[in-house]
A and B are shown apart, each in its own frame.
Chain A
Amino acid sequence: MTANIISGSLIFAAALLFGGLGGMLSERAGVINLGIEGFMISGAFFSAVGAYYAESAGLGGLSPFIGLLTAFICTAIFSGMHALATLKYKADHVISGVVINLLAANVTFFLVKLLFDGAAETPRLTNMFSKISIPFLSDVPIIGKALFRSYPTTYIAFAAVLLIGFVFFKTSLGLRLRGVGENPGSIDTAGINVMKIKFWAVMMSGSIASLGGATIVLTTNGNFSFNTIAGQGYIAIAAVILGRWNPYGVLSGALLFGFAQAIKDQIQILDFASSIPTEVFYMLPYLVTLLALIFTGRKTRAPKALGIHYDASVR
């Protein structure tokens, strides 16, 4: 059971990790991104559709990768809307994000009906990601199976943490990106195009978050319906805050919330749990999120220029 919980934690954490990394990217560039939920919905939808058509075209085991790619590209365009609204048209970041969420939920629901003859969900995929074992490491007793036998998306998510961590802290691009979220005026006077950095950060933010939605569809769910994401985007944002806008912090936040979800599934199997309504267990991840935020709230420090429209003429 321990192995199951650990392995489950990682799988749930992967989706939250993509969402969290995406959210962090945008927010470190100073743009609040509450649209993570919407981008994850978009990712789930496009991955289901992309993988389904790839499957129909006879691509077999390759089709989940096509799904992943479809989600990434299509959501980049979608998150371009958030970038345009907040950067070019100076819309309120929070409102734009909320609208993204509502739009994603309703448009995808409509498109599913349109594409699949009025069905409420996409057809079940036959080719999903399957777990792969890492040679030798997966043979270690207990933790081997728990840690080194998982879906490709889990590995991609963890690799993304390292990659983003490297870019953030070891390259000049990362230095500039972090600077933009703190004091764009300083970046501007150093001769760097502030808007360009912000725009790309928001685009990539949506794309990376979309992989979280795709992960859920292509590993555990097998198709897309209106409640596939069910608030995981918001939990991902909580992981960003809990992780203090740091990629490694986001990782620990995602692991904590992933653990809360995994334990929910495992506890239900135990004897004493039969007397407790299942709804209580379903509340668990959200309760853990709330508690975690309460206990760390005072110590968090958001990027200084977060949510502020940059206007070069107001120096």
Chain B
Amino acid sequence: MEQKRVEKVLELKHITKKFGNFVANDDVSLTVRRGEIHALLGENGAGKSTLMNVVFGMYQPEEGSISVYENETKIENPNHAIHLGIGMVHQHFKLIENFTVTENIIIGMEPKDGIRLNMKAAVKEVQNISEKYGLKVDPNSKIEDLPVGMQQKVEILKCLYRGANLLIFDEPTAVLTPDEIGELLQVMQKLVAEGKSIILITHKLNEIMKVADKCTIIRKGKYIATVDIKDSNKEELAEMMIGKNISREIDKEAYNPKQNVLEIKNLTMLSSSKKKVLNNINLTVAAGEIVGIAGVDGNGQMELAEAIIKMRDFEEGDILINGVSQKDKSTREIYESGVSYVPADRHKHGLVLENDIAENLILIEYYKEKYNQGIKLNKALMYEEARAAMKNYDVRAENEYTIVRGMSGGNQQKVILSREISRDPELLIIVQPTRGLDIGAIDFIHRQVVRLRDKGVAVLLISFELEEILTLSDRIDIIFDGQIVGQTKPTETNDRELGLMMAGKGSGDE
């Protein structure tokens, strides 16, 4: 029996996974034992998902080995992983909405009675498993009628029905309500008590402290450490997750905020499933300051940005620009009142990829008189302006007729930035401005943002990169679960404190 308890369910040794020149996982090792909840902690883009995709057979590592039950194995594909007893509870559920719970669980491994599907046996089996692990669901309900927490239970049951011994939970609490989170953590404890093992991918420290036995931390693809939770604390974990040495050097003029340009009052927004994605947000941004919104992806940042420019409606509260309510304004009216917006997803919301640079530069103001001659576009002016913009913003492309799709991310972002800055905004909303860019482009964009602030523009910076927030911001608001959970200044805080607040310490503590 003693032997059983130390059984290694999964052992990753020195895994390295590269995509071209980018090293997503750099020499990462991890061992999961029977009956253990092993947390995998890291920031966005730290390489957690890549590592788990390696385990689930979706990627093949360049170096290193994987052992399942102490046998070295090459995991070919997800089916092979399932066969080896590895189950993945995906963040975005893979369920068929108008099928019943039972149908979703058994599909692909249906119990049969001659040529007929044996639904009775299926329901019974589902009931057995759900009772054994305390996953109460009605096997005959349709998925579309179930709340998200229940749907997640179905995903877990699906893995168990297929005989999974190791369950990988990918950010499982991101979509859940606090009550559902509590219930899920209990289920996880029950699962390991029954001899299953769990890998919990997360960046929420509270959850790790509550249920995990061990925690492996990775940062920028690199293995940092594996710690015993009982010998550790949140502060230590946060420090390891974020790293100590964050440089924040950029020349800025003295902080001298003027009148408030943006005022958000008691803003509340509900998702389609009636969950509060924004919960009573109060926020101001003054002329001449950069306010950074720090937080982990999916805590309401996108909704906040889209509420300001009216791409989404909100339920309660108000948004004022220069003291004027924007409630009944259209997106164009808001833009015309001096708002510029650099969206997080440049491909989806920032550019028309099949159009050329000049066409993308007039995407917002194409209707204005100066770009039109009768019913024709003023092409001469368009392309002349584009040439100037490319020069001023260091956009590197063959010429102004270059199609945007083929350009590098940094140059695409510069096109967007030049368009938004040239509109001479009073308020700039800039979301994830440097995602996926190289150091040179990041530096250029940071300098442009600071230049605007020095000129007296109000800047709202939303970013998941702590370093970026600390480098640029004059003030920082921390968002967690749709709420502003703290306010601070870069000069008054440190990475550790910020990391803790971003992970919900303070609001998540019961």
Contacts and interface: CB of A to CB of B under 8 A. Distances in A.
Interface string A183-206: 101110111100000000000000
Contacts of B115: 171
Interface string A166-193: 0000111011101100110111011110
Contact of A186 (B107, B110, B116): B107
Nearest to A301: B98
Contacts of A183: 94-97
B117 A171 contact: yes
A175 B78 contact: no
B116 A189 contact: no
A182 B99 contact: yes
A185 B97 CA distance: 12
A170 B117 contact: yes
Contacts of A187: 107-108
What is the predominant secondary structure among interface residues of chain B facing chain A?
A: loop
Given A182-B99, A183-B94, A189-B78, A170 B116 contact: yes
Most chain B beta-carbon neighbours within 10 Å: one of A175, A301, A304: A175
Contacts, number: 52
B117 A179 contact: no
A187 B107 CA distance: 7
Contact of A182 (B79, B98, B108, B110): B98
Interface in B184-220: none
A276 to B, nearest CB: 45
Nearest to A186: B94
B104 A186 contact: yes
B96 A189 contact: no
A183 B154 CA distance: 15
A171 B111 CA distance: 10
Contacts of A174: 117
B112 interface: yes
A175 B116 contact: no
Contacts of A170: 116-117
Contacts of A176: 107-108
B481 interface: no
What is the predominant secondary structure among interface residues of chain A facing chain B?
A: helix
Contacts of A179: 96, 99, 103, 107
Nearest to A189: B94
Contacts of B108: 176, 187, 190-192
A255 to B, nearest CB: 25
B82 interface: yes
Given A172-B110, A175-B110, A191 B95 contact: no
Given A175-B110, A186-B107, A304 B97 contact: yes
Contacts of B117: 170-172, 174-175
A190 B157 CA distance: 13
Interface in B102-126: 103-104, 107-110, 112, 115-117
B95 A186 contact: yes
A301 to B, nearest CB: 8
B112 A172 contact: yes
Contacts of A171: 115-117
Contact of B96 (A172, A182, A191, A192): A182
Most chain B beta-carbon neighbours within 10 Å: one of A190, A192, A301: A190
A176 to B, nearest CB: 6
A191 B94 contact: no
A18 B401 CA distance: 54
Contacts of A189: 78, 94
Interface in B23-79: 78-79
Contacts of B110: 172, 175
B170 to A, nearest CB: 11
B158 to A, nearest CB: 8
B82 A191 contact: yes
Contacts of B158: 190
A185 B104 CA distance: 12
A187 B95 CA distance: 9
Contacts of A172: 110, 112, 117
A176 B117 CA distance: 11
A174 B107 CA distance: 10
A169 to B, nearest CB: 9
B445 to A, nearest CB: 29
B169 to A, nearest CB: 16
Most chain B beta-carbon neighbours within 10 Å: one of A182, A185, A191, A304: A191
A301 B98 CA distance: 10
Given A172-B117, A191-B79, A182 B107 contact: no
A50 B32 CA distance: 67
Contacts of A192: 107-108
Nearest to A176: B107
B231 to A, nearest CB: 37
Contacts of B98: 182, 301, 304
B322 to A, nearest CB: 43
A175 B103 contact: yes
B477 to A, nearest CB: 34
A123 B107 CA distance: 51
12 contacts: A170-B116, A171-B117, A172-B117, A175-B99, A175-B103, A176-B108, A179-B99, A182-B97, A183-B97, A187-B107, A189-B94, A190-B108
Interface of A: 170-172, 174-176, 178-179, 182-183, 185-187, 189-192, 301, 304
Interface of B: 78-79, 82, 94-99, 103-104, 107-110, 112, 115-117, 158
